[in-house]
Amino acid sequence: MQTTGYAAFNPDSPLAPFSFERRALRPNDVAMEILYCGVCHSDLHTARNDWGWSYYPIVPGHEIVGRVIEVGAEVARYKVGDHVAVGCMVDSCQECDQCHHGEEQLCREGNTGTYCGVDRINGENTQGGYSKHLVVREEFCLRMPEGLDLSKAAPLLCAGITTYSPLRTWNVGPGSRVGVIGLGGLGHMAVKLAVGLGADVTVLSRTKDKESDALALGADRLLVSSDPEAMAKAANGFDLIIDTVPVKHELDPYLPLLDVDGTLVIVGQVGPMNELSTVPLLLGRRRVAGSPIGGIRETQEMLDFCARKNILPDCEMIRMDQINQAFERMEKADVRYRFVIDMASLSAA
C-alpha cells in the first residue's frame, strides 16, 4: 500500500514530506487509516539521532490512533471501522517468558519498535505514525474504548503507558506519596494517572512557572527543584519518584527526598547520567530503577482505566506541516502538554 507521511532525512534538517510503501497485509495484519498521532520527545531524539541508532529516512510517531480499513484473513479481534491504537511496539518474539507474561516491551529478543525497528519477517526498517496509514499485526493493536475522545487520546499510547506502568509496578494507590520530575508530556500524564490511582502527588519542576498548571492537573503541590531549602524540607517524603527529564542530569538532589525503601524510577534520559553519590542510597535503603513503556495487556488496561476515570492528556492540535515548529517548542519545554497531529491535515500539507 502506497502511503505518505513526514520523515527526517538526516539529523540536521527539518522533517519533510515522504512517500513510501506499507507492506501488503499478512493474514494476521490490520491496516488502519491514522487519524491522530502524538508528538513524543523520543520522536525528536530519534529524528536528531541523539541515541545513535536512527536510520534515514525515518518517519517518527508512536502515539497512534486510527480506524481499521482492512483486515487479514485470520484477524479475529478487529473489523473494518473499529477505532484502534498503536503505541511504541509493533512486534516481539511472542515466545519468551516475558512475552508470555504480557511484558512484550521486555521481550528477550528485543521488541520491534514502531519506528527505529526492523520487521521480523521481511527485514525492512519500520516507519511510525507521522503518516496516513499503518499496517500492524493484530496482537499489537489496541482497542480504543468507547467514550474516550479520539482527538485527545493518542498521547496515552506512549506518555500514558510509560508512566502508568511504573505506577502499577510500584503498587501506587491511596496513601502513596508520588513525585514527578519534569512537567512535560510524560510528566503531566504521570500526575493525572497517579491522582486517578488515589496518590498524593507532587510535581518537581525547575521553576514555579507551572504551579497553577500542576494544581489544575490534580497535583497536590509543586516543589521547585532548584530551591535547596524547599528540597531539604521535603526530605524522606516520597515512596516513588518518576523522573521524566529528557537529558543527562543530577540525581543527587532528588535521592534524599525518598523515604526508606523508596524508589526513583527513570523513564526520561536514555543514556549516561551524571555521577551519583551512593550515600543516600545506602543509608536509606533507597533504589534507583528504570522502566520502559509497558506491555500490551497493561496498555489496554490503562486505556480502559482512562476511559472509566475520564483521564485525557492536555493536547495542542497541530497540522502535519507544523511539526518542525512543534519540535522547536518541545526543545524549549514550551508544550502544554502534548502536541497531537491531526492527520487529516496531511493531504493538505
- The binding site for Zn ion (CB under 5 A) comprises 40, 42, 158
User: Does 292 help bind ligand NAP (rule: CB under 6 A)?
Assistant: yes
What's the grid cell of residue 116? Answer: 527505529
Give the whole-angstrom CA distance, residue 85 versus residue 300: 10
User: Does 315 help bind ligand NAP (rule: CB under 6 A)?
Assistant: no
Cβ distance to ligand NAP smaller for residue 32 or 293:
293
Give the whole-angstrom CA distance, residue 30 versus residue 137: 6
Residue 66 binds: one of Zn ion, ligand NAP, none (C-beta under 5 to 8 A by kind)? none
Q: Is 101 exposed, middle or buried (0-12, 13-18, 19+ CB in 10 A)?
A: exposed
Look at the chain and count its residues: 349
Residue 182 binds: one of Zn ion, ligand NAP, none (C-beta under 5 to 8 A by kind)? ligand NAP
Residue 183 binds: one of ligand NAP, Zn ion, none (C-beta under 5 to 8 A by kind)? ligand NAP
User: Does 341 help bind ligand NAP (rule: CB under 6 A)?
Assistant: no
User: Does 194 help bind ligand NAP (rule: CB under 6 A)?
Assistant: no
For residue 117, the minimal CB distance to ligand NAP (Å) is: 14
- The count of other CB atoms within 10 Å of the CB of residue 207 is 12
With CB under 6 A as the contact rule, the residue among 66, 87, 179, 268 that binds ligand NAP is: 268
User: Does 113 help bind ligand NAP (rule: CB under 6 A)?
Assistant: no
What's the grid cell of residue 8? Answer: 527526517
Where does this chain touch ligand NAP (CB under 6 A) — which range of 6-14, 127-135, 156-164, 314-322? 156-164
Cβ distance to ligand NAP smaller for residue 77 or 297:
297
* Binding to ligand NAP, residues 11-50 (CB under 6 A): 40-42, 45
Cβ distance to ligand NAP smaller for residue 130 or 132:
130
Cβ distance to ligand NAP smaller for residue 59 or 68:
59
Are the beta carbons of 236 and 257 closer than 8 angstroms?
yes
Q: Is 220 exposed, middle or buried (0-12, 13-18, 19+ CB in 10 A)?
A: middle
Cβ distance to ligand NAP smaller for residue 239 or 243:
243
Where does this chain touch ligand NAP (CB under 6 A) — which range of 18-26, 66-74, 130-138, 290-298? 290-298
With CB under 6 A as the contact rule, the residue among 54, 112, 162, 322 that binds ligand NAP is: 162
Can you give the binding site for ligand NAP, defined by CB under 6 A? 40-42, 45, 158-159, 162, 182-187, 205-206, 210, 244-247, 249, 267-270, 291-293, 330, 333, 335
